[in-house]
Structure 1
């Protein structure tokens, strides 16, 4: 290829972060987005969006926004309407909107023998095929519904929460929500005001974190001063009991894990409604029988609608799994970004973490941009970076937490440990570039370093 040019797939927060970092680094790229514009899932009119009318941020504005572009809002927890406007403003302000082809769905990304990548897509004007030095995958992690199978058949209305848009869908119905994640609890609160009745089926206990503590957004407390995992768990568990009480008294099972070992629920309105008797907690589902749902504790109930709040599964449908070093529930990537083969694919946004925000994703993008710039202008620094990834132990991204070995936790990281590791990796490229300059002899010293055996790569974030 005459020039190094990259493709960015997706114009949600991670895709915009990638585009901005490449722009700042002077790296040429083309963006592709299946929907009508920027914003990804935050655009409720995007056909692949999983947004619903009552959705708001569950992390606070100041811990979530891009640092170089503060949000024009005073709300601590803005709605999806504010957020889609924010992403459009961000893209327009930095001249990113025109860098994307909209309503253009990528159908295949395949590697040529010479290492370049062929990208095929379907756009408004027909098929597109382009050749790129590399491809940044930023198509999101919350678009492909995880739909479990159940014994029997439910003859009422069975929906995944990805198909839920408005509380009017619940009006007058007997509703069962299966799963109690943040979306499930949001919809449960909606249902209280619209449904004839609402129950929630759960299989494990949860920790509920209030949005405000001591008059401030709870995730703004203790910023920049992370406590060791066990101390934070000890302190915060007691703070939560003082502010929210024990969810077990409302019918939830007792959690069989410590706080922060699974994503907490940022919705204490659910507990308020449970205390008022507005909804009920049921055991895990055993089987369906017409409109009857049988639960594992031997009880049963009659329902018109079952909503599956069962989360999402990772999906990169246009590229072979082998190219992403897929292992278990998710790809096994260095810093959840780089395949160990360094084949020219880079994954943006494959991180879940309480409080990491879009700035954490932008720091990912800066690392990718720094590496791509090194490939072109300082190949010896890029080579040294790859050697470290292949030879050295990968950093621990858990922050000392023993995350549950669930599918949705397979790419979960601790925000402080992750951002620290990304900063170290970014700085290492800067250091290698200068150390490898004429007269420093770094390349020879690196080549002479004895190899160290790296531990077998585990899926980052799974329970140990």
Structure 2
């Protein structure tokens, strides 16, 4: 029986371990932190979590279907989620399959498989595996832009932000207005001496509740065509949240859902109350002064970079993952077309895909690996579909922004339909 390695014990790694367990496939798991949960464990040294963090998608659209959360909260906190993953891992007997405080430092191909070198409590060791599943997520390596000039205050990425106490009495400039940036701005209102947000493009703001229900639960049936949904939802949002341009944001140069929306309307409330300001894109720094492209300027003690993350898998050469620009080019963001024994889990971002969507990814992978062991001809047919046919369109008809962070963005419904189609085809032919 072949044995596979799974790197990472966050949601994607646990989903992989569980799906492979169902198929009777043996794994060794590797996790650099002291326990399961990935970034949702704020005590994980590599966690990007902060004290005020909560889910931005609702509990019922996010949880694993076979293991509902023991919580009544619609948008649970990171503490609830850390405990949820611990319970999930313990319930299915996954915890014991992982080696904790053990970092993978190198993957090298050998004899049709992979030598995996890791460093942990017992030192450094190398072991051969039939295949390796990389499941470390997409939010580990901060994207830190360069600026003209020098800033004499503190420059910090949001990945290093843990508590609003870090903002006490300081003049703060947040660069970017993604979900983390807006959360931080709301925190800063109650702690910082002043708070500004520098943005270069407009955003769409989605309230957490519409008509008294979590907003992402209102359209759970058959998905609407992209243009119809964009037109309808734009009107609904305008009725509920108004026009963000009125609060100082630029007008978006794209349609709703062509970039990830901001699930935080409290920031608009604070803008309306004068608690913070929106500033233009930064032109340069000069000591403690930020000079903006509209000719204005401001003085700051702390510049917080809410500038997102970039994909990074430093333990394996890029050629093995078929990198193209900012991301690997993989079938369904999972399979290298060469089928070299490396597999990617969780390299997707999509509004509403949740952890169940990642588990469905894992089910497809498990079905393929099981077929490779038990029905080689069926696995061969799958590989031929991947290498000989056009890859499925997983955009759902949306024209996503051509940004590095959108390179692995998919439409929830289109992606999951494609994954289920391939899994069903594997199961039918087995």
Under TM normalisation by the shorter chain, which class is it? Answer: over 0.9
| Pair 1:199-2:173 in alignment | no
Q: Which runs of 4+ in 1 moved over 2 A?
A: none
Partner of 1:360: 357
2:136 aligned to which of 136, 139, 142: 139
Q: Provide the C-alpha distance between the structure 1 equivalents of 2:162 and 2:325, rounded to a whole number of angstroms.
A: 31
Q: Normalized against structure 2, the TM-score is what?
A: 1.00
Q: Provide the C-alpha distance between the structure 2 equivalents of 1:427 and 1:389, rounded to a whole number of angstroms.
A: 15
Q: Provide the C-alpha distance between the structure 1 equivalents of 2:135 and 2:107, rounded to a whole number of angstroms.
A: 13
2:246 aligned to which of 223, 246, 249: 249
Secondary structure, aligned partner of 1:153: strand
Whichever of the two has the greater Rg, that structure is 1
Partner of 1:178: 175
The structural deviation recorded for 1:189 is 0.2
The structural deviation recorded for 1:225 is 1.7
Partner of 1:313: 310
Q: CA RMSD in A?
A: 0.5
| Pair 1:336-2:333 in alignment | yes
The structural deviation recorded for 1:91 is 0.3
2:97 aligned to which of 69, 89, 99: 99
Partner of 2:366: 369
Write out per-residue CA displacement over residues 64-100 of structure 1, whole angstroms, 9 at most, x where no aligned residue: 0000000000000000000000000000000000000
The structural deviation recorded for 1:116 is 1.2
| Pair 1:258-2:248 in alignment | no
Secondary structure, aligned partner of 2:369: helix
**Number of residue pairs aligned between Structure 1 and Structure 2:** 430
Gaps of 5+ in 1: 434-464
Partner of 2:13: 15
Partner of 2:423: 426
The structural deviation recorded for 1:362 is 0.2
Q: Provide the C-alpha distance between the structure 1 equivalents of 2:258 and 2:429, rounded to a whole number of angstroms.
A: 36
Q: Provide the C-alpha distance between the structure 2 equivalents of 1:307 and 1:264, rounded to a whole number of angstroms.
A: 20
Partner of 1:129: 126
Secondary structure, aligned partner of 2:371: helix
Partner of 1:453: none
Partner of 2:217: 220
1:409 aligned to which of 402, 406, 412: 406
Partner of 2:23: 25
Partner of 1:447: none
Secondary structure, aligned partner of 1:234: helix
| Pair 1:286-2:283 in alignment | yes
Q: Provide the C-alpha distance between the structure 1 equivalents of 2:233 and 2:399, rounded to a whole number of angstroms.
A: 16
The structural deviation recorded for 1:432 is 2.0
Q: Provide the C-alpha distance between the structure 2 equivalents of 1:4 and 1:320, rounded to a whole number of angstroms.
A: 24
Gaps of 5+ in 2: none
Q: Provide the C-alpha distance between the structure 1 equivalents of 2:197 and 2:72, rounded to a whole number of angstroms.
A: 33
Q: Normalized against structure 1, the TM-score is what?
A: 0.92
1:57 aligned to which of 43, 55, 58: 55
Partner of 2:33: 35
Q: Provide the C-alpha distance between the structure 1 equivalents of 2:268 and 2:405, rounded to a whole number of angstroms.
A: 24
Q: Provide the C-alpha distance between the structure 2 equivalents of 1:58 and 1:322, rounded to a whole number of angstroms.
A: 35
| Pair 1:156-2:144 in alignment | no
Q: Provide the C-alpha distance between the structure 1 equivalents of 2:91 and 2:429, rounded to a whole number of angstroms.
A: 33
Write out per-residue CA displacement over residues 164-221 of structure 1, whole angstroms, 9 at most, x where no aligned residue: 0000000000000000000000000000000000000000000000000000000001
The structural deviation recorded for 1:224 is 2.3
Write out per-residue CA displacement over residues 324-354 of structure 1, whole angstroms, 9 at most, x where no aligned residue: 0111110110000000000001100000000
Secondary structure, aligned partner of 2:310: coil
Secondary structure, aligned partner of 2:201: coil
Q: Provide the C-alpha distance between the structure 2 equivalents of 1:212 and 1:319, rounded to a whole number of angstroms.
A: 43
Partner of 1:325: 322
